[in-house]
Amino acid sequence: MASDYVLGTHQSELERLRFQHELWSPISEAAWTRAGIQSGQRVLDLGAGPGFAAADLAARVGATGRVLGLELSADYAAEAQALAQRNGLPQLEVRQHDLLKDPWPDEHFDLAWCRWLAMFLPDLEPLLAGLERCLPIGAQLLVHEYVHWDTFALHPKAEAVARFGQACQQSFRAAGGDPDVNRRLPSLLSARGWQIEELLPLPVLGPQGSMAAQWMERFVAVYGLQLQRLGLWSAADQSEALEQIQAAASDPGSFWVGPTVLELRARRLGP
């Protein structure tokens, strides 16, 4: 699969995303409950990927609701639409769409949801303007984006894994993104007339063998290869990081901490 994605859209990345969804699904469901997403509502899913979260949202809003997913990758959009058909979710539509270039949908939604999207955008203005087009006064925006990527670590003393985290952030910034974008989004929204209703940190961590640990180990294995292709990481670096992960498996006191996500929920009050 070809893509402009920093992370790629190859099969190993698709499987990593599937596992990631399993880990984050309870966290997402709790956030959707806090936001009051319910049957009959219209939800816009920005950066829908292969549609795992979009399908869950479609099940939540039911047959009388609607979920529209917008996804940059044509391959992922096709995966998501096939998932909707397999699961019998006619209320779910996923379109291939470039948020920075293509016209936004000419329809209104009760809520827009995005996770790990804004961090990859070189320009946030099209995102903010598009939200104002699709979300009327009173509608909500629910965002899960990183606020502190530097918390990514394998403790204790996995120095190569720490260097891997820094190389990840370098790759995101080199592509025009901001790994800690949620430090800026609340202020940007407030300046445009949005009311910030919730800021909730969502740390993910776990000991060896936990889903959280497996998620981060898979990320090192998959994205380490991409970092090598980008010239930001070497085969020797990757071997050292994997050796440290293997060594940590024999230490029952070792544990992983992920980059810190911030849940941002805002309501549009104007202009």
| Nearest alpha-carbon partner for 129 in 192, 208, 177, 191 | 192
**Dihedral of the CA atoms 224, 174, 80, 28 (nearest 10)?**
80
Low-confidence residues of the chain: pLDDT under 70:
1-10
Write the burial class of residue 85 (CB in 10 Å: 0-12 exposed, 13-18 middle, 19+ buried): exposed
Please report the sign of the dihedral spanned by the C-alpha atoms of residue 230, residue 211, residue 151, residue 186: positive
Structure tokens that stand for 133 in this block = 């087009």
Cα–Cα distance, 1 to 8 (Å, whole number): 8
CA distance 176 to 239: 28
What is residue 47's predicted lDDT score, i.e. its pLDDT? 96
Q: What angle do CA 35, 38, 44 make, to 5 degrees?
A: 70
Contact 105, 39 (CB under 8 A): no
Q: What is the pLDDT of residues 190-220, one digit of tens each?
A: 999 999 999 999 999 999 999 999 999 999 9
**Is-contact 87 50, C-beta < 8 A?**
no
- Measured in degrees and rounded to the nearest 5, phi and psi for residue 185 equal -60, -45
Q: Taking a C-beta distance cutoff of 8 angstroms, is the pair 28, 144 a contact? A: yes
Separation CA 74–CA 200 (nearest Å): 33
pLDDT of 8 reads 45
The pLDDT score that the predictor gives to residue 3 is: 44
pLDDT given at position 13 = 79
The pTM of the full predicted model, rounded to 2 decimals, is 0.93
